[in-house]
Structure 1
Amino acid sequence: MTERNDQWLGRLAKLESGQVSDVLDEAGIPCHALSAELFALSPGKRFAGRAATLRGEPILNARTVSPALPVETMESITFPGSILVIASGGYRTGALLGGFVAYSLQRAGCQAVVTDGAIRDAEEIRALGLPCVQSALTPVNGARRWRAVAAGIPVTLPGSGGGLVQVAPGDYILGDGDGVVVVPQQMIASVVEDAEELLRIERVIGDELRAGGERAEVFRANPRFAHVRPVTGPSC
């Protein structure tokens, strides 16, 4: 999968996560924002890309014995413009990746890493400039305690409000200072177009408020969501 000519990705990257979240809510896709418990290694750093997915499990208490994927899997599924999304299977004791892996991912074109697991070598990864969103930081190496078992399949991560957000390979992901939102790839066109119209409306609202308009009156004259088209997507 290549992102060189992906007009939607370029347009998504110019939007704010809050605008995209509002459009997804109005369109009927409430489970789209990742939990605030997953925090940014470098707060405020923006990123946008398409999901490359990986699922793993803790080795010591795995319910079933699954064949482990090669250690190079993280790098092998990464492509230019990708966001590596790792579902840890509930494992947070050790780091799923550190500085060397982060460097390899970035060199392969990875735009960011998003996981409900832990990472380490935080200062090294910050220096690389690779955005990471994770559940914890730890000095412990997870290589002896966790393994990847599936790649290129839909995964779920904790969502805002306690539900789960499904992320399928190729889905669009936008992260900024407010958090991370996931846009299913089959609805990217309508979501981006409607979010761009919302951005235009909000600029008008801002101009009118700064010109002295009363908030209630300005909002009444500029409905923000009347244009948003309903879509069908994953349920919570």
Structure 2
Amino acid sequence: MSSTASNPTTSTYAKTPLHLLEALKQLSTCEISDALIKLKIPSGGYVPDLEPFGAFPTSEKDRLVGEVFTVQMVDANDSLAPKLDGGHFVDQALPGCIVFISSPHHIKSASLGGLLAAGLHVKAVQAVVIDGRCRDLQEIRTLGMPVWASSHSTLGQSPFTRPSTIQQPLTITHPNWPTLTISPHDVLIADIDGVVVVPSDKVEQVIELAIKGKQVDQKCMNDILEGKGVAETFAKHRGQTGKH
């Protein structure tokens, strides 16, 4: 991965204390989702159906952790949606952030291509996550820019979509899945298992619960590798059965 891709300590955007961002980096997205479920977040913070199309975290040291900078795309024919103020969203993005773009699901064109990825890369944006599509995969990979998206396309933004707002809460909806609200400065974590977003006001609670869960799971793993039964192990360490 690029040297700008996954170092929360270099962020000029983050409001979350750096020691908390570093603590999250020691936790997997699975451990974080389990903690969010315990906090009654129905989705577990999981952003579904995303795939990595750029640089990809293959180890714990490459785990991506950063605060979200939101971008809402709308159908270009939507005359009621606000028009973006302040210039292009790439020019308004801040170093150290993770740009999260939400695009209408019926749109088959990309919200990000090689040129926009290059603009974000030179601004030291950590990564881009798109509830929608990207394109110019070779250029994105050459840049070393981490990009997650729902899919890819050959089509650019125009004449299909346009940016409408930045730094406003995004509502992420998928069929048969709980609605997820993503707000500016929420903390996004991405690794080999997927992408999870932690509400900014729940970071400390999530860390505490996730660390406890990680310790319990390690005890379970040790017992299972020693040949003990799963039901016995779960009953001993988790006080329940059936959880994977």
TM-score with structure 2 setting the length? 0.81
Q: Is the 8 A contact 2:68 2:184 kept in 1?
A: yes
Letter of the 2:84 counterpart: A
The separation in 2 between residues aligned to 1:188 and 1:68, in whole angstroms, is 30
Letter of the 2:161 counterpart: W
Task: Tell me the residue number matched to 1:75.
Answer: 91
Task: Tell me the residue number matched to 1:112.
Answer: 127
Aligned ranges for residues 39-78 of structure 1 at < 5 Å? 39-42=51-54, 45=57, 46-60=63-77, 62-64=78-80, 66-69=82-85, 72-78=88-94
> Gapped runs of 5+ residues in structure 2?
1-11, 58-62
The separation in 1 between residues aligned to 2:200 and 2:239, in whole angstroms, is 24
Task: Tell me the residue number matched to 2:5.
Answer: none
Moved more, 49-58 or 88-97: 88-97
Moved more, 90-99 or 169-178: 90-99
Task: Tell me the residue number matched to 1:34.
Answer: 47
Q: Percent of counterpart pairs with the same letter?
A: 25
Query: Is 1:198 the equivalent of 2:213?
Result: yes
Task: Tell me the residue number matched to 1:2.
Answer: 13
CA deviation after TM superposition for structure 1 residue 128, in Å:
2.1
> 4+ runs of 1 displaced by more than 4 Å?
none
Query: Is 1:215 the equivalent of 2:226?
Result: no
Task: Tell me the residue number matched to 1:229.
Answer: none
**Aligned equivalent of 1:172, options 173, 187, 192:** 187
TM-score with structure 1 setting the length? 0.84
- Cα distance change on mapping 1:159 and 1:12 into 2, 3 Å: farther
Task: Tell me the residue number matched to 2:102.
Answer: 87
Task: Tell me the residue number matched to 1:149.
Answer: 164
- Cα distance change on mapping 1:202 and 1:160 into 2, 3 Å: farther
Letter of the 2:46 counterpart: A
The separation in 2 between residues aligned to 1:224 and 1:184, in whole angstroms, is 28
Q: Is the 8 A contact 1:59 1:145 kept in 2?
A: yes
CA deviation after TM superposition for structure 1 residue 57, in Å:
0.9
Query: What secondary structure, in the 3-state scheme, does the structure 1 residue paired with 2:111 have?
Result: coil
